[in-house]
């Protein structure tokens, strides 16, 4: 597995986001043991210190916790923390960009809401 070399994000941030995605997809449940920095380094062919920095992000955000001598584990509220973080950080930036572009294109508010509703409905249909 490779990380995006053309990404503006440092590799350790990409590691943290990949692990967050794994938690969101249900690959890791509360109290499940997380990969070690050496396992991540091996899988992604990166320096173990880089993988460790990615794990540290999750540790600092209370998504993971340490058990001395055993490794890192997923916290009971990891999913909630990730969802809240992404909503406040990423989604708000995307929404601002959409609203700015809609204003630039003089799209009425109601039309923008209708577009969002249609897309949400199409997305939900695709998941069934």
Tens of pLDDT, residues 2-55: 565 667 889 999 999 999 999 999 999 999 999 999 999 999 899 999 999 999
- The boundaries of the domain holding residue 30 are 11-76
How many Å apart are CA 90 and CA 64, to the nearest integer?
A: 21
How many Å apart are CA 82 and CA 77, to the nearest integer?
A: 9
* Partners of 66 in the β-ladder: 72
Tell which residue, 38, 63, 32, has the closest CA to residue 51: 38
Q: Is residue 1 part of a domain?
A: no
Cβ proximity of 20 and 82 under 8 Å: yes
Q: Are residues 72 and 18 in the same domain?
A: yes
pLDDT of residue 6: 66
Domain count, the chain: 2
- Helix (H, G, I), strand (E, B), or coil: what is residue 71? strand
Q: Are residues 71 and 98 in the same domain?
A: no
Q: Is residue 83 part of a domain?
A: no
Task: Identify the domain boundary among 35, 54, 76.
Answer: 76
pLDDT of residue 24: 96
Query: What is the pTM for the complete model shown?
Result: 0.74
Q: Give the model's confidence band at 91: pLDDT under 50 very low, under 70 low, under 90 confident, else very high.
A: confident
Q: Give the model's confidence band at 1: pLDDT under 50 very low, under 70 low, under 90 confident, else very high.
A: low
Of 126 and 28, the structure prediction assigns the larger pLDDT to 28
- Helix (H, G, I), strand (E, B), or coil: what is residue 32? coil
């Amino acid at each position: 597995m490779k990380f995006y070399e053309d990404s503006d994000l440092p590799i350790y941030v990409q590691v943290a986001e990949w692990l967050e995605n794994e938690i969101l997809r249900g690959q890791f449940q509360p109290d499940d043991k997380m990969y070690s920095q050496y396992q991540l380094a091996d899988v992604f062919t990166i320096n173990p210190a880089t993988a460790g920095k990615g794990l540290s992000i999750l540790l600092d955000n209370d998504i993971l916790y340490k058990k001395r001598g055993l490794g890192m584990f997923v916290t009971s509220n990891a999913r909630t923390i990730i969802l809240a973080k992404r909503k406040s950080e990423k989604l708000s930036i995307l929404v601002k960009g959409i609203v700015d572009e809609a204003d630039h294109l003089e799209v009425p508010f109601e039309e923008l809401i209708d577009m969002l509703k249609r897309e949400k409905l199409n997305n939900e249909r695709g998941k069934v």
